[in-house]
């Protein structure tokens, strides 16, 4: 099976490439300059050129804080660009898996978010991602939206890598403790995406497999909890470590508001697709081990 994935260097793209052989699929990154979501007119031609059996839209404008000063660009890429990918999938007659985010919610619910909950993004980034979901749903494509959260991996820039970098020069790191989420390993996410893609291709008429699903690491954590787990895993392997000073969101102001509750209820994905991601703690430990091994090679 041939899976075209938008983008080239992102965490999800790199993770899909890393697990493609074991999953017996061919992953074909399609990114700039051939495919640029900021230039939607060229999207269909770029995707058609690789003759995919399924398309994964993983490319996005992800600079959450910068989006507050570039809302039009974020909306063009995440909204119009995603819509163009969906229209291309419809024209090619192949299923689309669109990757979305916990930032479509306002964070006010007292429990993990369900797919049916009302969306109310707090930031320009969140609004642009919600626009993408709406464009995908209106495209006429055979679509599935996967919302995820707090993604980290051995690739690109992410929270786990930042913590390890800071621990090299600091004895103590202040980390927000009043935001809760579901830390998600991009390699775990990639395996789930491939499993969903295989099922969508194999069962084209099954409406229960389509729609919006949440997919995230099992369990929950604050950013401070996640940092402590990173440092403990690193220390156990002789890597850099630091103390965590738990702080409140108000003590670490950012241009974009973050949801205080980003936990995702992933029960529907388990029910419909038979998929659950593993507990986040073990996946963090594996990621830290990989990063330390890379730094020593």
- Which residues belong to the active site? 125
Give CA angle at 168 (164, 173), nearest 5°: 70
Q: Give the C-alpha distances (Å, rounded to integers) separating 288 from 97, 111, 219.
A: 28, 29, 18
**Cβ-based burial of 73 (10 A; exposed 0-12, middle 13-18, buried ≥19):** middle
- Quick one: which of 287, 248, 67, 290 has its CA closest to 159? 287
Q: Give the C-alpha distances (Å, rounded to integers) separating 184 from 88, 113, 282.
A: 29, 15, 11
Q: Give the C-alpha distances (Å, rounded to integers) separating 103 from 29, 62, 107, 133, 147.
A: 25, 11, 8, 12, 9
In the chain, the DSSP E strands lie at 2-6, 26-30, 54-57, 96-101, 143-148, 151-152, 172-176, 180-181, 184-185, 211-214, 221-222, 243-247
Give CA angle at 80 (75, 81), nearest 5°: 100
The residue written with tokens 């669109």 in the block is 98
Give CA angle at 130 (126, 135), nearest 5°: 150
DSSP assignment string, 247-258? E-GGGS--SSPP
Q: Is 149 helix (H, G, I), strand (E, B) or coil?
A: coil
Strand partners, 264: 113
Dihedrals φ, ψ of 49, to 5°? -65, -20
């Amino acid at each position: 099976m041939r899976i075209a994935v938008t983008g080239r260097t992102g965490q999800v793209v790199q993770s899909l490439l890393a697990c493609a052989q074991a999953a017996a699929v061919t992953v074909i990154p399609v990114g700039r300059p051939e495919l640029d979501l900021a230039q939607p007119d060229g999207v269909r031609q770029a995707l058609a050129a690789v003759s995919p059996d399924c398309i994964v839209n993983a490319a996005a404008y992800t600079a959450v804080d910068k989006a507050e000063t570039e809302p039009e660009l974020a909306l063009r890429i995440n909204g119009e660009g995603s819509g163009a990918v969906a229209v291309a999938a419809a024209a090619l007659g192949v299923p689309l898996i669109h990757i979305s985010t916990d930032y479509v919610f306002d964070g006010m619910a007292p429990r993990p978010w369900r797919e049916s909950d009302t969306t109310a993004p707090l930031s320009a980034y969140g609004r642009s991602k919600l626009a993408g979901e709406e464009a995908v749903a209106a495209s006429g494509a055979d679509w599935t939206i996967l919302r995820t959260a707090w993604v980290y991996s051995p690739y690109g820039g992410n929270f786990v890598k930042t913590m390890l970098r800071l621990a090299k020069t600091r004895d103590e790191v202040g980390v927000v403790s009043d935001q809760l989420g579901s830390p998600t390993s991009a390699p775990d996410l990639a395996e789930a995406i491939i499993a969903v893609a295989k099922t969508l291709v194999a069962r084209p008429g099954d409406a229960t497999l389509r729609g919006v699903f949440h997919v995230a690491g099992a369990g929950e954590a604050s950013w401070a909890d996640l940092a402590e787990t990173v440092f403990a895993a690193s220390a156990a392997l002789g890597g850099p470590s630091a103390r965590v000073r738990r702080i409140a969101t108000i003590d670490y102001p950012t241009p974009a508001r973050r949801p205080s509750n980003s936990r995702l209820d992933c029960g529907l994905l388990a029910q419909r697709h038979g998929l659950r991601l593993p507990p986040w703690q073990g996946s963090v430990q594996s990621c830290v081990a990989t990063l330390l091994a890379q730094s020593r090679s």
